[in-house]
Amino acid sequence: MHPASLWKKLPDGRAACRLCAHFCRVEDGKRGLCGVRTNVGGELMTLVYDRVAAAHLDPVEKKPLYHFYPGSLTFSFGTMGCNLSCAFCQNYSLSQPPRQGKGIAGEKVTPADLVATAQRSGAASISYTYSEPTVFFELMRDTADLAHEAGLQNIMVSNGFQSRQCLDALAGRIDAANIDLKAMHPSFYERICGAKLAPVLKNLVHMRKLGWWIEVTTLLIPAANDDAAQLRRLADFLFQELGPDTPWHISRFHPDFAMRETPSTPMESLLRAHAIGREAGLRYVYVGNIRDDTWNRTLCPSCGATVLERAGMVLGQARTREGHCVSCGAPIAGRSLP
């Protein structure tokens, strides 16, 4: 165990956690909703500061980030635990066991170990991902500080359900984020994810104000969050609140966890969502989890030429010069584009 940050001791012995938008009040001997923060004698402790449960070297496009150091490698890791309980979770073996009171698995590491591994692997960045990085905040914070000292970028792949205090503590530490905006119906978040929509929307706006590069992902689930009116509201939010250069990744659902009876997303639904995003004024809209790389390409918003090709998660030919389209000279939004 390791002392947790962002909490307050209450007079009755409970610990008021300030890490995410659940704001748990954890009784002595109990865990918060995330399953990895526990009250020990009135002190809040984290169970995952030194327990990494998954680590891989990935193309940054896998996060997915298409406009942040494209073509580079990112050292990705995560612990067990999550502050949401999404019925469709594809990493449920990592995210859900601690919420059920089960043990915490993982390899014992230090922030210095993680940064050294990233450097040896030739990564340009470290990604905090796989489960929900908010719940391993202390490990992410300390690793991010060392990563910046080593010249590495920091990426957070998250559900966006942090507290404002948590985001402000990460200001200057995180450089880019891919955030799941799962739906625009509050009932979807409440019924299927065990959370609320409003904090995610507020946090996306605040992340933009912090200067992070933001890309957004929506997993499109048949008969759950794929109606046209909802998608228009989502696309309009991205355009109006985050800006037209915000990349939107529309991802195909495959049956998993507690939604194994739900069919995969039809291609026509994915293309309809793509069209809605473009009609809303978003300049970079992608469709993922499919085999057709047509929808992975980055197009110049000025002349329509293909400027970045991708084969799956691998960057192909780049028709850019210092972040500008070689055909017309228009700028392509992003960070460190070729």
Question: In this structure, are 151 and 176 located in the same domain?
Answer: yes
What is the count of structural domains for the chain? 3
Task: Using DSSP bridges, classify how beta strands 213-220 and 306-311 pair: parallel, antiparallel or unpaired.
Answer: unpaired
The answer to whether 248 touches 284, Cβ cutoff 8 Å, is yes
- Other Cβ atoms less than 10 A from the Cβ of 59: the count is 18
> Residue 152: what pLDDT?
98
Question: In this structure, are 96 and 23 located in the same domain?
Answer: no
Question: In this structure, are 18 and 93 located in the same domain?
Answer: no
> Residue 256: what pLDDT?
85
Question: In this structure, are 39 and 80 located in the same domain?
Answer: no
Question: In this structure, are 288 and 317 located in the same domain?
Answer: no
- The CATH number given to whatever domain includes residue 209 is 3.20.20.70
Question: In this structure, are 249 and 335 located in the same domain?
Answer: no
5-64, pLDDT tens digit by residue? 999 999 999 999 999 999 999 999 999 999 999 999 999 999 999 999 999 999 999 999
Return d(Cα 141, Cα 206) in angstroms, integer: 18
Question: In this structure, are 286 and 334 located in the same domain?
Answer: no
Question: In this structure, are 185 and 316 located in the same domain?
Answer: no
The residue ranges of the chain whose pLDDT is under 70 are none
Half-sphere exposure of 152 (CA within 13 A, CB side): 28
- Show the 3-state SS of the chain: CEECCCEEECCCCCEEECCECCCCEECECCECCCCCEEEECCEEEECCCCEECEEEEEEHHHCCCCCECCCCEEEEEECCCCCCCCCCCCCHHHHCHHHHCCCCCCEECCHHHHHHHHHHCCCCEEEECCCCHHHHHHHHHHHHHHHHHCCCEEEEEECCCECHHHHHHHCCCCCEEEEECCCCCHHHHHHHHCCCHHHHHHHHHHHHHCCCEEEEEEEECCCCCCCHHHHHHHHHHHHHHHCCCCCEEEEECCCCCCCCCCCCCCHHHHHHHHHHHHHCCCCCEEEECCCCHHHHCEECCCCCCEEEEEECCEEEEECEECCEECCCCCECCCECCC
Q: Which domain holds residue 58?
A: 51-296
Question: In this structure, are 72 and 9 located in the same domain?
Answer: no
Question: In this structure, are 219 and 271 located in the same domain?
Answer: yes
> Residue 74: what pLDDT?
98
End-to-end alpha carbon distance in the chain: 43
309-317 contacts, C-beta under 8 A, 24 or more apart: 310/61, 310/66, 313/58, 313/59, 313/61, 313/62, 313/64, 314/59, 314/61, 315/59, 315/61, 315/70, 315/71
Question: In this structure, are 315 and 236 located in the same domain?
Answer: no
Among 309, 255, 288, which Cα is nearest to 90's?
255
Question: In this structure, are 122 and 267 located in the same domain?
Answer: yes
Task: Using DSSP bridges, classify how beta strands 213-220 and 248-252 pair: parallel, antiparallel or unpaired.
Answer: parallel
> Residue 156: what pLDDT?
98
> What tokens appear for 70 in the block?
């494209």
